[in-house]
Structure 1
Amino acid sequence: MKLSLLLLAALPIASYAQDSIAVTSNDMYPNTFSSGSANVQSFNNKARRFNDWSVSIGGGAAFMVHSDLVSITDEKFNWGYNSYVSLDKQINHVVGISLIYQRGETKQKGQLEGAEGIAAGVAEARTKYNQIALMGDVNFSNILRRVDNHSPYRWAMHGYAGMGFMSFNTSLHDNKDYSWSTNPRRIPLFINQKLGLNSVYYQFGLGVKYNVSSLIDVEARTMYIISGDDEFDGGGYAGSGDYDPNSKIPKYNMIDKRRSDNVWTVNLGLSFKLGKHTTHLAWHDPLQEAYYRANVLENKSTELIVCEKGDKDNDGVCDDWDRQPDTPAGARVDGAGIALDVDLDGVIDLYDKCVTVPGPVENQGCPTNK
């Protein structure tokens, strides 16, 4: 454990450590972390380890909610549809951004109160919309994933939020004022909102992704779209006079006091990951990689295998590098396994009677008296 903490503490130092070799080409640039310069590698496509682009498509159901006319009435669903396509860019392992286009249709109903509502019956409306937006993506799983979780990284939860512009067309008809009639002349209520600066909308939601392969992800995604427009459900225009209680026009846009008609979508989609690498950046957690590398180093065997060939003469020097593998028993040896001969007279100290004075072998290493 201590080794792991030491290695992790050293990671920032290693990351910022640079040598002091001068820059000699356009491929190198000054080291901004020191007063000198360094040979460092520029970050380009060649240096990338992960894919970071993808294209996503999907579709599902759409419901008008928290509005004057709603898609869910008396526990019954009036099903609409939603579809999307997006170009996705992963900025780092946690954050991404998407340019998304959505198209869909909702079906909703509502009824006025009192006698007016009884006469008009249940009004039915449709909204067809087109939306384009920039949307941020936060990978919660890369933030919350435990560092000791070594299971395959297949599932991830994502959070989305963004804003954009939309256009829509609505139609509403009932049994009275907004019905097809020639006598008196009546037509359903139609509203056409063109794409423009006054058609801003917001959206946020959650998604769960499954990493099928290095090329494809499958995702279940739910989004809540805030239109910011009380005309979005088709219940009527949203001018100041349209909220006058004394006006004779039907007040479908006053059934709910909120001035924003919103949509809830549930989608199933696919993401196609682009690039030549085997891993996408969204499926990589650098902190987990750091802990994994530290754990590998900590658990790596540091035992050295010595004396594979043994020590035949038992002089304490392995035969692997013993230059005198048959040293006599009891003789002192140097680091190479050679018996010591302090006075260099050719008689090893084990047999030398005069260890510090040279002498012939015939006299057991002692000088002769002449």
Structure 2
Amino acid sequence: MAGLAAMLSQGLVAQENNSGMYRGGGYDFADTSLIPSKRMSQHRDFLNNQYDFPAKPRNQWEIGLSVGPLFVSGDVRSKNVFTANDENRLNTLGWGLHVRKAWGYVISTRLQFIHGSASGFNYQGSEGYWGHSQNPWYKANYWNQDVYYNYKTTVSDLSFQLMAALNNLKFHRARNKMSLYALAGIGGMLYNTKVDLKDASGNNYNFSTITNPGSETNIYDNRRDINKALRAMFDGDYETPAERHNNRKWVGDNTLRPTATAGLGLQFRLGRRLSLGVETRWIYTNDDLIDGQMWQERPATSNGSIVASAMTRDFDNVNYSSISLNVHLGGKSVDPLWWMNPLDYGYNEMKRPRGASASKCDNDADGDGISDCFDRCPNTPGGVSVDSHGCPFDTDGDGVADYKDKQLITPTECQPVDADGVGKCPDPECCTKQGGGPVGCSTIPSGAISFSAGSAKLSSGAMGQLNSLASAMRANPNCKAVIIGNGSGSKIEQQRSWDRVNSVINYMVDKQGIDRERFIFQYGNSGDANSVDYRAAASGEEGPSNTPPPFPNLRRD
């Protein structure tokens, strides 16, 4: 398990280091792909400064496999892999499988199944079985002699647990590398207990060979010798069913018990999709025969007679201490929320506050999406696409922004240009003698493509229109088409305008095989915000076939 964890974590850590998280230590709060559709409305309001709180992101599921010692706290001492005899070392272990999901930064739920065996024996001799007709030691005629109780129980437990992360509220660092949690839950358990009271020949064990130090000696001092002798004596067959309650539900050879459970655990983060866990969990059964024994030692009366003993005081409980390997699953999701610091956004907001009283780094006076403290062109007109510095695009680098450049592509040798972006080179002779646009471009159709509100997906009707446009462009290989996206009223409208133009051009390139360079990409026009216009390019009309999206965080494919 450790080797597998090491192999997986190397690749996963590399993936995490290139995850692109740049706003907060946990995740990019502006990445809308992490937000479920049912919470997208809240997140759009948050991104548009209309609501103070970001929506809770989608987070990954955890699936884990565990293994560890299983033992019973009862009347018979449980053994472990080091103290059990050779035949029973595996009868001290269990394994588990779980699925866990976070519903908030603190609370998560887990469904867990565990299966395994616990076994053990006492080094003190006992006669408490005497007089109890259902006890297997009594039924096997071990009368009036000390026996050494032993057991093996097979346990299957299914539980639903509520878990609480205890240390992901971080005031002085961005996130956890170790997660501490507590759990509590309910479930059901099947157990089947057997005892080993016959040797390999089917005869009762001869316990008289076990040295009894007597009542005047502390038996604890002789426990190692007694345990050694018992390990050598028991054959580990566990051939006899233990005593069972007759007022419990039986399922075949198993007894069914409702249970309560509680525990503590630690997880260590190995990468974005992998963690290692250490946990101890107690299962409370309200049952006293999980270890096959429930009788006290038999007392002697004042006249010296012996009577049957009473039941022991306490119930048996089961402990499962385990180590687990956990994998986090889910695309377009953040880490499980117990790994995230809910104060992350709050600290970033305090460091870079927004609102009326904020510094200029938190203002965007021209509404181009670039903070004023980074905006090199602070008075950009509304609806104009800008670069990461807040300046309008200048495709040909002539110093005149595209939105007022009457010659979008001016060759370098024709620069410098005039105030309209027109270069000093004369028009080619072919163009001065040609009276209109390219021959045949009048057959390129014009029209408008309608989209559903908020969508950039082409309808079947829109595809039919574009098929006709593609046929005309194939028939007129020297003609270009201008694709014009409408919508400039808000950041979302501008981005949706870009999305729709991009969708149209991608369809023409990918599905119809038209060269991308034959299209002029325009968006942010003031027309119907749910439509894209198209027409033939005028003579000499030029423009880019692709432009960067204005607000990538609001992009919709």
TM-score, reference length from structure 1: 0.56
Deviation of 1:114 (Å): 6.3
1:207-240 per-position Cα deviation (integer Å, ceiling 9, x unaligned): 101111111111001111212111111126x9xx
1:148 aligns with 2:172: yes
CA distance change for structure 1 residues 217 and 27 in 2, over 3 Å: closer, same or farther?
closer
Aligned to 2:184: 161
Aligned to 2:267: 209
Alignment equivalent of 1:131, drawn from 157, 163, 166: 157
1:93 aligns with 2:145: no
Aligned to 2:115: 103
AA paired with 1:146?
Answer: K
CA distance change for structure 1 residues 181 and 175 in 2, over 3 Å: closer, same or farther?
closer
1:181-203 per-position Cα deviation (integer Å, ceiling 9, x unaligned): 49xxxx73435774599611111
Alignment of 1:37-52 (within 5 A): 49-52=57-60
CA distance change for structure 1 residues 63 and 102 in 2, over 3 Å: closer, same or farther?
same
CA distance change for structure 1 residues 123 and 197 in 2, over 3 Å: closer, same or farther?
closer
CA distance change for structure 1 residues 106 and 30 in 2, over 3 Å: closer, same or farther?
closer
CA distance change for structure 1 residues 301 and 61 in 2, over 3 Å: closer, same or farther?
farther
Q: What's the secondary structure of 2:170's corresponding residue? A: coil
Which is richer in helix?
Answer: 2
AA paired with 1:160?
Answer: L
Aligned to 2:240: 188
Alignment of 1:4-153 (within 5 A): 49-65=57-73, 67-71=74-78, 77-78=83-84, 80-110=92-122, 111-113=124-126, 119-142=145-168, 145-150=169-174, 152-153=175-176
1:234 aligns with 2:292: yes
Q: What's the secondary structure of 1:285's corresponding residue? A: coil
C-alpha contact 2:189 2:256 (8 A) present in aligned 1:
no
Aligned to 2:28: none
Q: What's the secondary structure of 1:282's corresponding residue? A: helix
Q: What's the secondary structure of 2:293's corresponding residue? A: coil
AA paired with 1:95?
Answer: I
Aligned residues with identical type, % of pairs: 17
Alignment equivalent of 2:343, drawn from 287, 295, 299: 287
Q: What's the secondary structure of 2:325's corresponding residue? A: strand
1:262 aligns with 2:312: no
Aligned to 1:271: 326
Q: What's the secondary structure of 1:120's corresponding residue? A: coil
CA distance change for structure 1 residues 197 and 108 in 2, over 3 Å: closer, same or farther?
closer
**How far apart, in 2, do the equivalents of 1:219 and 1:30 lie?**
37
CA distance change for structure 1 residues 297 and 166 in 2, over 3 Å: closer, same or farther?
same
C-alpha contact 2:72 2:316 (8 A) present in aligned 1:
yes
1:303-332 per-position Cα deviation (integer Å, ceiling 9, x unaligned): 979xxxxxxxxxxxxxxxxxxxxxxxxxxx
Q: What's the secondary structure of 1:119's corresponding residue? A: coil
**How far apart, in 1, do the equivalents of 2:290 and 2:341 lie?**
42
Higher relative contact order (CA 8 A, sep 6+): 1
C-alpha contact 1:70 1:108 (8 A) present in aligned 2:
yes
Deviation of 1:287 (Å): 2.3
1:123-152 per-position Cα deviation (integer Å, ceiling 9, x unaligned): 21111010111111110112xx331234x5
C-alpha contact 2:127 2:298 (8 A) present in aligned 1:
no
Q: What's the secondary structure of 1:62's corresponding residue? A: strand
TM-score, reference length from structure 2: 0.38
Q: Any unmatched runs of 5+ in structure 1?
A: 1-25, 32-38, 306-370
Q: Any unmatched runs of 5+ in structure 2?
A: 1-36, 43-49, 131-141, 205-238, 301-305, 362-371, 375-557
C-alpha contact 1:52 1:91 (8 A) present in aligned 2:
no
Matched length? 251
AA paired with 2:323?
Answer: L
Deviation of 1:119 (Å): 2.7
C-alpha contact 2:299 2:307 (8 A) present in aligned 1:
no
**How far apart, in 2, do the equivalents of 1:265 and 1:29 lie?**
42
AA paired with 1:265?
Answer: Y
Aligned to 2:135: none
Q: What's the secondary structure of 2:77's corresponding residue? A: coil
Q: What's the secondary structure of 1:163's corresponding residue? A: strand
Larger radius of gyration: 1
